[in-house]
A and B are shown apart, each in its own frame.
Chain A
Amino acid sequence: MSAWSKKKLGRRFFLGGAGAAIALPFLPSAVRMLEGRGTAHADHASCETPKRLLAWYVPCGIHMAAWRPTSTGRDFALPEILQPLEPVRGKMNVLTGIANMPARPDGPGDHAAGTGSFITATHVVKTEGSDIRNGVSMDQVAATHLGSCTRFASLELGIDGGGPAGGCDSGYSCAYARNVSWSGPQTPMPKMTDVRAVFDRLFDGFDPTASLAEIERRRAYRTSVLDVALEDANSLRPRLGTTDQRKLDEYLTAVREVELRISSEETLVCEVPGRPAEDLDLTARIDVMSDLQAIAMQCDLTRVITFMMANAGSNRSYPFLGIGDGHHSLSHHQGNAENHRKLTLIDRWEMERFSYFLQKLDSIEEPGGGTLLDTCAVFLSSEISDGDRHNHDDMPILVAGTAGGAWETGRHVVYDGRPPVANLFTTLLNAVGVPSTRFGDDGTGPLTI
């Protein structure tokens, strides 16, 4: 694959030493070398059969007229936007009629509010200041339960870091517009947007050539410097005011999590692919992010991933699709046929990317049979439904994979009565083995897929 370079390894490689660089496509999961994992997680029965939860975000809603299948059940015709998913249609469901009403903003700001609520199904507080407040997102609920099985409790990935100046959306904090993953009411999980940085992070520290003594020494040193930092923080904390204490608590939580990661580090040795090339175009960057998500799960480095194809209300233009207008500007289509045509092209291109990802997952065989996709529950949606109306009552939703056979696939399921997406999140969480009975602001129980 041209997007990947075999030549150069990241600088961090040389700190930990490097595994052998190999070219993609990935080796099957069977080559994973499990070293120490069994003992480290022997008490985690749920770690044994991996189930994975992912959420993909696309910006500015979807042109629903070219998305919604005209018939229900199994043999529906794929509408124009969904056609790129033909190769994997048997492994996914189209769900229509589901609402995310907590995503409605207070006054203007649908994009930021809808993105903040994307997988929290919680109404966010409209503010640019210290009183940001959201719920815990579905992926982070899952990470709390599944995180100890893997080196990374979760990965947060995206394409756009966010503009370096200017407001985000009508008085809503940029934290809402840029982050779908929230580990606490005030703690967005920032995402990584550079493919090489993601690669370096995933494969930092793996060193199959290091002696046990060397690994032990490195771990002891890394843990010790963090211990000093923890002691500094603990002795500082009582001397701080209330607000500052809350800031320091974020730090304390983060340091403890990194310590945990280091203590379980290097027990898993994974074959390392080449480092991604630089200067990729947009399509290649998204596809490489897909590759990285696939290998992160294939190597069992994480079981929980969120990915944002852009940030809230993205105004990116798509010259390679012949579209010079900004996406957000276009999404206010005014019922204009030419705008509908362009939106359909953008949405269809987004589904081409998603299809690439699903096919990648489906090409990787699992040791226990089936494919990596079969072990996943992948949720895809946007912050709003229609770009002109900014409605949240009929969201565009796909669910791919079955988390090990939790539901039938290949169907278009139409829901009556606008059930809350929070209930779908309960279903997805339960499917990956995470207890949840009510989710978000308006959840009432699981939704049958």
Chain B
Amino acid sequence: MRFRSLTALAVLSLAACDGSLLDPRGSGPGTVDGWGPDGPSGPGGPTVPAEPGRVTMRRLNRSELDHTVRDLLGLEHPVSTDFPADDRGYGYDNNGDVLSTSALHVELLASSAEEWIDEALGTTEAPGPGRERILTCDAATGGEACARTILTAFTRRAWRRPATEPELTRLLGMNTIAQMHGDGWPEGVRLALIATLISPHFLYRVELDDPAVTGPERVSDYELASRLSYFLWASAPDDELLDLAEEGGLHDETILRAQAERMLDDDRARSLVDDFAGQWLYTRLVPEHDADDATFPEWTPDLARSAQGEMERFFAAFLEEDRPVEEMLTAGFGFVDDRLAAHYGVEIPTDATRDEQGFARVMLPDTRSAGLLSRAGVLAVTSQPNRTSPVKRGVWVLEQILCSPPPPPPPGVEGLEATEPREGETLRERFERHRSDPVCASCHSVMDPIGFGLERYDAIGRYRETDNDGAIDDSGLLPGFGDFTGASELGAMISSDPRFPRCVTRQMMTYALGRGVEHRSDEAWVDLLTEDMLANGGTLRALVLEIVTSPPFRMRGADHGAEDE
């Protein structure tokens, strides 16, 4: 097992400090323990500087704010709906570089923090959901000693680390302000709780450099607890993680793996479905898909939610059942409720078990057995409002599934799609008519032939045999791989394409680290982690475990100042 210990990290730090390049697969001094030639992935591989990269301090995004407030205060409803949409970097909205903070954010946080605390505490007569846990003593009678007890416990959970004595003193000082206005300790505590949530230590995931170390270093145990919890839960560490951090044991690989396994089995890992897969696979876009009412009256908000529900359950099944990721594009099982079953033209067996939302797990017909490639949600969000878009479908496969983005179009020629169809002409024929321009063909010859293979699904994902009364030709070409016909062959081809598992790793690393896979060592880490995932069953769980134990996840590189910008 790799990373049996991280004792060699100190050596790594020293080595990196003098600028020497390290071979992550080499052995001997200066390597991360376990990355030797006898490791699971075997010899070979590029020589790279064994640096872990450095993430920019991250503001909690809306999802993280919702989950953190839920776990901290017991408020079950989303709390961030009034906050502005978060920007994405490299496809994910937890990217520290692009999460900016405006006066609007702080203004909303300040007024919201007051509401959250008041709602969580409630009153003696009508206690809120967080009262019992937060107000562990009576500040009215207990005074400063009680206030200190309350705030010590609360800041540890809200700031994901123990507060320092000066920080506690500052918060206790709120009582002076309260007294000046005729209020007592309970109001002082209330104000201190509010101040805790407006503090940068709540709003940001702060990671500090050890002034004694100039090279890459391990993140602290508390920082590692937060890295774990925001990766797997999009929320704050729970008490078990904080206790482990306090004991200083979280970097122990056995403990780290056990914790990751525990967290994956927890309901809070749902955030991997909503936030990671939601952005990776575009699941989040399904309810927002703007199908044209006149062309597709069948595409209702309810059907959109069903199509999204299927994608979410499908992804969750891979997470929960340890299925190899390669089956994502070949699997024939699916989750349908009555609405989606009708859309697909399948029957739900009467004895099928249904979940709370009415979804049953079923085997779908051959026309739907190309996993995600054959499901309504993906097919709809990669369509135009009133017709399919081979371009968008091709781009989705290239960018999201293979991480091989097509060359960008030359300026001014993006409008090839908008030409009126001729009678009896399929969309494919229309597109091919317009690809005769060699300038356009340079990109479209990469994108379109993938999308053509999915032409048997209309713009809301219904199966069809004809398009505009013309017979559908669903032969296609996966660039760099070969010819295929239809979704099933495309799915089989992608699942044997080495770019696919590597892309899964790249996508999850981007999300797990909260930064682009852009550091000079990152491509090598992607290669290594992909090999490890495949050597361990090729599952999402294996990938999660490889990521959380890898140096990029457990360490941070040195601050290079302005040259990093």
A, B from the same assembly? yes
Nearest chain B CB to A28's CB is how many angstroms away? Answer: 29
Nearest A residue to B296 by beta-carbon distance?
A: A324
- Whether B85 lies near A178 (C-beta < 8 A) is yes
Q: Does B480 belong to the interface (CB within 8 Å)?
A: no
- Whether B417 lies near A253 (C-beta < 8 A) is no
Q: Does B18 belong to the interface (CB within 8 Å)?
A: no
- Whether A325 lies near B518 (C-beta < 8 A) is no
Nearest A residue to B290 by beta-carbon distance?
A: A317
In Å, the complex CA distance between A187 and B100 comes to: 7
Nearest chain B CB to A93's CB is how many angstroms away? Answer: 30
Ranked nearest first, the 6 interchain pairs of A and B with the lowest CB-CB distance are A332-B415, A324-B292, A241-B559, A190-B84, A130-B97, A161-B85
Q: Does B465 belong to the interface (CB within 8 Å)?
A: no
Contact partners of A189 in chain B: CB under 8 A: 102, 104
Contact status of A175 and B98, CB under 8 A, knowing A167-B91, A243-B56, A248-B200 = yes
Q: Which of B100, B113, B209, B294 has the most CB of A within 10 A?
A: B100
In Å, the complex CA distance between A161 and B417 comes to: 26
Of B85, B167, B192, B399, the residue contacting A190 (CB under 8 A) is B85
Chain A residues bordering chain B, tally (CB within 8 A): 94
Nearest B residue to A179 by beta-carbon distance?
A: B87
A126-138 Cβ-contact flags toward B at 8 Å (1 or 0): 0011111000000
10 further A-B pairs in the complex, CB-CB below 8 A; given A232-B201, A242-B560, A261-B107: A105-B411, A129-B518, A161-B84, A164-B278, A173-B89, A194-B82, A217-B181, A325-B384, A333-B415, A334-B418
- Whether B104 lies near A329 (C-beta < 8 A) is no
Nearest chain A CB to B503's CB is how many angstroms away? Answer: 15
Of A131, A226, A232, A251, the residue contacting B565 (CB under 8 A) is A131
Contact partners of B81 in chain A: CB under 8 A: 194, 197
- Whether B57 lies near A188 (C-beta < 8 A) is no
- Whether B410 lies near A232 (C-beta < 8 A) is no
A107-141 Cβ-contact flags toward B at 8 Å (1 or 0): 11110000000000000000011111000000000
A151-183 Cβ-contact flags toward B at 8 Å (1 or 0): 000001000011111111011011100100001
Contact partners of B88 in chain A: CB under 8 A: 165, 168, 174
Nearest chain B CB to A181's CB is how many angstroms away? Answer: 10
Q: How large is the interface on B (under 10, 10 to 19, 20 to 34, 35 or more residues)?
A: 35 or more
In Å, the complex CA distance between A329 and B113 comes to: 43
Contact partners of B101 in chain A: CB under 8 A: 247, 250-251, 254
B512-537 Cβ-contact flags toward A at 8 Å (1 or 0): 00001010000000000000000000
Nearest chain B CB to A138's CB is how many angstroms away? Answer: 18
In Å, the complex CA distance between A201 and B565 comes to: 35
- Whether B292 lies near A129 (C-beta < 8 A) is no
Q: Does B206 belong to the interface (CB within 8 Å)?
A: yes
- Whether B295 lies near A324 (C-beta < 8 A) is yes
- Whether B292 lies near A317 (C-beta < 8 A) is yes
Nearest chain B CB to A132's CB is how many angstroms away? Answer: 7
| B interface secondary structure, majority | loop
Q: Pick the interface stretch among B24-32, B170-178, B338-346, B360-368.
A: B170-178
Q: Does A350 belong to the interface (CB within 8 Å)?
A: no
Of A164, A171, A191, A333, the residue contacting B408 (CB under 8 A) is A171
In the complex, 11 of the A-B residue pairs with CB atoms within 8 angstroms, ordered by the A residue number, are A15-B114, A165-B283, A190-B104, A233-B199, A244-B57, A248-B200, A315-B385, A317-B386, A332-B416, A336-B419, A390-B411
- Whether B107 lies near A258 (C-beta < 8 A) is yes
Q: Does B548 belong to the interface (CB within 8 Å)?
A: no
Q: Which of B90, B412, B414 has the most CB of A within 10 A?
A: B414
Q: Does A66 belong to the interface (CB within 8 Å)?
A: no
Contact partners of A11 in chain B: CB under 8 A: 115
Contact status of A162 and B561, CB under 8 A, knowing A232-B167, A326-B385 = no
Contact partners of B103 in chain A: CB under 8 A: 253-254, 257-258, 261
Nearest chain A CB to B98's CB is how many angstroms away? Answer: 6
Q: Which of B181, B285, B294, B416 has the most CB of A within 10 A?
A: B181
In Å, the complex CA distance between A325 and B417 comes to: 11
- Whether B411 lies near A241 (C-beta < 8 A) is no
- Whether A167 lies near B399 (C-beta < 8 A) is yes
- Whether B411 lies near A108 (C-beta < 8 A) is yes
Nearest chain B CB to A176's CB is how many angstroms away? Answer: 10
Contact status of A163 and B288, CB under 8 A, knowing A131-B565, A324-B294 = yes
